[in-house]
Each structure stands twice: as structure tokens, then as C-alpha cells.
Structure 1
Amino acid sequence: MEIQQLPLPGNLIESDYQDLLKKLSAAHSQLENTKAEKEQEILDYFTMWVHQIKIPISALHLILQDEDREVTEEMREQLFKIDQYVELILQYVRLGSTSTDYHFQKVDLDAMIRESFKKYASVFIRKRLSVHYDGIDQRIVTDSKWLSFVLEQIVSNALKYTKEGAISIYLEENAVVIEDTGIGIRPEDIPRVAERNFTGFTGREHKSASGIGLYLSKQILTKLEHQIKIESEPKKGTKVSIVFDDKQMTTE
């Protein structure tokens, strides 16, 4: 029963009790409004911060076009990493905001995957890694922005821990699979790799893990009603599957 719909008090005690309930309700509403405003303020701040920091990053990319090639490649790699971490921070804040909306629609999975590969093309070339992808004729009911972010995180991880060989993407039943020939994950670490700030033996050994990417990916997929499945064998590679429900898959 809402506070406004309380019955008329039968005596002074009931009247005082109802007054107390109304005050508590008003205080709760004010607290919720303040919380929402604070969350929006933080989100706005980080969004502005990300856009501001990307300006000098873009400027540095332009400057590097005229610099020594060997130095340029190293600096471009570091700038790319900075850009990734900046985007990671922004998505982390957005995911935790109650004002974040999800827009579900039919999405061309093939186009999304190709865009993810395109973003990391320079990394594939620099590391001399092959791409195995034959195209996927599949549409998914999802939020394209958030699923793209997850795909990019998984491809980024695969690139980070693969020194030679290839990264493959293919459709297996109701799942998109990203498989690499990298260093793999120890069996005892697999259940925890999607926990916040968990880097595991692989991340600690290579000193390149933030412990946020897979955590965010799992949280996002849960909100999109998709699932993530991770299989791996040390020194052989890792297989990450994004699993969809039947109702989310369509070819139309």
C-alpha cells in the first residue's frame, strides 16, 4: 500500500505513526533522487574527461605521421593502449549508472565482428597473427553498442596473450566463438577470470592485465541476457563463447 493510500487514522497513535511513515517515505524519495543526480554527475564528468583526453591522443597520432617509423610504431602501440584504458573506464562508469539504457534491436553479427577486427588490424599486422573468419550470416537481438564492446574486449585479450598463430571467430550452435592459439589460462583460474580485479597467473606473469575487461564483459552480457563461456588449456590457447538464446537469433 502506498503512503498516500493509508486509511484514515483511528486515533492519535495511528496518526503519529502515519506521519512518521510519510516522513520516512519523503526522506527515502529525496535520497533516491540525490543518488540518481550524483550518479549522473559522475557519468557526465567521466564522459567529459574521456572526450578531453582523446583530443591530445588524436593530436599525437597526427604528429607521429611525420616521425621516425620505428619510434612511431612503438608510440602508436602505447597510444592505442591508453585509448583502450580510457574507453574501459568510461564503460565501467556507464555500466554502474542507473541512467544507462539498453536499446535492443536486430543486429548484423557479421558487420559487428568485421568492425572489431578492423579496430585491431594494426595489432594483427604488428604481431604477424592470422585471422580465421569466413563470415557469419546471422542476426542477433541485442544492444549493438554494448555487444560490440564485449567483442572488442575478447579480441583484445586474445591478441594480448597470443604471440604466434591465429585468432579465429566462428558460429557454433547458438554461440559466437573467439578462439586463439595463445598461452592459455590455468584450470584453477578459469572460474575467477571474470571477477573484478582478478588477473590470475597469466595476467601477473605478463603484467598486462587490468582485471576489468572480462569482468565488464560478463556484467554486460548478463544485462543483455547473453552468457559467456570460457575454455582454455595452458600453452595451447583459449576459447571464449558468447552464448545466445534461441529467441535472440534470427537470419531475417
Structure 2
Amino acid sequence: MHDFVAYLKARMLVWIILLLVLIISAGIIFLEDLPFIALLDGLVIGAAFLLPILTFDAYRWLTQYRQLTATPEEDPLSHMPAPVNAMDKRYQAIISTQNQLRLSTQVSVQQQSQALSDNFALWSHQMKTPLAALDLLLQVPPVDIKEARTEVKRVDRYVQMMLTYIKVNDVNRDLVLKPVPLTPLVKRVVRDLADLFIGKNLPVQVDPLPTVVTDTQWISFIFEQILTNAAKYTETGSVHVYAKGDAIVIADTGIGIAATDLPRLFEPGFSGYNGRMNQKASGLGLAMSQTIAEKLGLKLSVDSQVGVGTTVFLHLAQQTWKSE
């Protein structure tokens, strides 16, 4: 009964039109002073034609409605009734498109969730090193305040890395593009990492760099990751930051990167031979830096030779610039 009531409501316009035709017909018969039997004859003849049509329409509509009602939520498209007109076809096409978008979004969200879970596990493993070192320092009196502060700074950098990772998919929302002088920016990053360089007595030379239109926060993160890696894997020698061609170059005299590791250097979670041997890397920093660089219209590339050093190129969109 509920289905039939739904059909009556769906065909409300038809009932209104039939009622208007009946009223008009009755009015004409009354005004023309025709016998009332003429109205009855018209009703009978009309019913004889309309009743089979309405019965077929009701049957078709109710069949389609019940099929839709019985459609499972898990896979509705494969169980939907066949369209009977152009409107039905259009609705089903819209539903199919939206369903594909929903599935695509669902897969993307699942992949992001899995990536977050995997990278969080890597980050947690990386966090254990400074926390263990800090715990050991606090257990052996007198406490080495300088070393303790160094480990606290390492923890802070790792926390900031994870906060940045959480926001990295929404870089565009957080962008503030403006002319940024790179020389003071890089020098500020070097000062923030001073404990790493001073601890190894590594000099850092920063040559005059250009002013570029970019986002201060995100490009600072890129330089921080590159310079942190330079400090981690350089025991003797120096680090040199300078402009060359279309790129900002960060060159160190560290242990270098194996040629077999270079093609995978920007893959999330890939730490390479150096990271596995030294237990110093989660494989997140460079992957995040490359993602951010691409969103800024930049690109990272690396050239390295084992035992000689590593050179990282941050390629800028500008081909020419004015140095500071």
C-alpha cells in the first residue's frame, strides 16, 4: 500500500490534469445544456482508454521503485533497474560518475592513511635515538647540559618534521608567496642548526644568494632538511651554499651516497645505505622536501660520489636573478 501511495504522489500532475479535464467537460455540458448522460459516456470512453495505460504505467513504476528499494547499499549500481527513459539514463550516469569519484577519493584517503601510518612508524623509530640519549645523559651525574640541549633540539626538529608532514598535503592552503632574500634565510637556518655543525667543527660558507618569490616557511624547511643531512653525514671538511645557473647548490664533503641509492633518494621511507648503517635517517626529510619543492614550482636533484661528498641542487623557476 505504501508503494501505491508513493506512485499516486509521483503522478500528482496527471491526476490534476485529469481532474481539470473532468471539470471543464462538466462545465461545457452544463453551459451547452447537454444531457448529463453525455458526461457519463465520456467518462466511460475515457476510462476505457486511460485505465489500461495507467495500469501499465503503475506496474512499470512500481516495479522500478521496488527494485530501487531493494538495491543493496554495498554495490547499488550493479543492481539498479534498467533505465526506461532519457531522464533515468541521465540520473544513472550522474550517480555512476559520483560513485567513481567517491571510490577514487576513498582509495586516495586509504593510501594517505597508510602512508601516514607507515611514516609515523619510521618517525617514531627515529625519535627513539635522541630520547634514549637524553635518558642516558640524565642518569649519569653530573648532567652534561650542552649535550642534553643538543638532544632536546634534535627532538624538537623531529617533532617539527612530523607537524610539517601532517600539513604537507595542504601546502597550497598555507602558501604565502612574496619576494624572499635567500641569503639571510639560509644563514638563519644554519644558525638554528649550529649545534650540529659546531659539534663536528664544520664550517659553513654561504655565498650571496638571489631573492626569489616563494614561501618563507616551506623553503626554510627544504634548506633545513638538506643542511641537516649535510651535517649528519659530513665528519670533516665543510659545507658550501652558493648559486649556480638556475639552482641553489648545497655541497658537502661528506661520506657521499652510493650510485645505486640515488634513483630512490626521494622515495618516502627510503634511507639508503648510509641511513641503515648510521641509524640516523627515517627517509622522510628528502621525500617531503621534494614534494614541497614541486608545490612551490621548484625541483631537487642530487649528485654524489662515495668518499667525496654530496651536492644538492634546488632548481628555481627563475632563469635569471639579481644577487643580493
Rate the CA distance shift 1:143–1:249 in 2: closer, same or farther, 3 A: farther
Paired residue for 1:108?
181
2:249 is the alignment partner of 1:190: no
Quote the Cα distance in structure 2 between the aligned partners of 1:21 and 1:114.
57
2:162 is the alignment partner of 1:89: yes
2:150 is the alignment partner of 1:72: no
Instruction: Determine which structure has the larger helix proportion and give its number.
Output: 2
2:261 is the alignment partner of 1:215: no
Quote the Cα distance in structure 2 between the aligned partners of 1:99 and 1:246.
20
- Could you tell which deviates more after superposition, 81-90 or 241-250? 241-250
Quote the Cα distance in structure 1 between the aligned partners of 2:172 and 2:103.
16
Aligned to 1:164, which of 236, 244, 247?
Answer: 236
Rate the CA distance shift 1:159–1:84 in 2: closer, same or farther, 3 A: same
Quote the Cα distance in structure 2 between the aligned partners of 1:244 and 1:99.
18
Query: Does the 8 Å CA contact 2:186/2:206 hold for their aligned counterparts?
Result: no
Rate the CA distance shift 1:237–1:34 in 2: closer, same or farther, 3 A: closer
Deviation at 1:159, TM superposition (A): 0.4
Higher relative contact order (CA 8 A, sep 6+): 1
Query: Does the 8 Å CA contact 1:110/1:135 hold for their aligned counterparts?
Result: yes
What are the equivalent positions in structure 2 for 1:110-149 lying under 5 Å apart? 110-136=183-209, 138-149=210-221
Q: Percent identity?
A: 32
Rate the CA distance shift 1:251–1:178 in 2: closer, same or farther, 3 A: closer
Deviation at 1:134, TM superposition (A): 3.4
Paired residue for 2:298?
226
Paired residue for 2:85?
13
Deviation at 1:101, TM superposition (A): 3.6
- State the Cα RMSD in Å: 3.3
What are the equivalent positions in structure 2 for 1:19-98 lying under 5 Å apart? 19-23=91-95, 71-97=144-170
Query: Does the 8 Å CA contact 1:142/1:248 hold for their aligned counterparts?
Result: no
Quote the Cα distance in structure 2 between the aligned partners of 1:181 and 1:202.
15
Give the structure-1-normalised TM-score: 0.74
Rate the CA distance shift 1:247–1:237 in 2: closer, same or farther, 3 A: closer
2:245 is the alignment partner of 1:173: yes
Report the count of equivalent residues: 217
Give the structure-2-normalised TM-score: 0.59
Query: Does the 8 Å CA contact 2:256/2:308 hold for their aligned counterparts?
Result: yes
Deviation at 1:211, TM superposition (A): 0.3
- Could you tell which deviates more after superposition, 19-28 or 199-208? 19-28
Matching residue's letter, 1:92: Y
Deviation at 1:74, TM superposition (A): 2.2
Rate the CA distance shift 1:215–1:144 in 2: closer, same or farther, 3 A: same
Structure 2 counterpart SS, 1:246: coil
Structure 1 counterpart SS, 2:170: coil
State the Cα deviation string for residues 84-108 of structure 1 (Å, max 9, x = none). Answer: 1111111111112387342322111
**Rg: which structure is higher?**
2
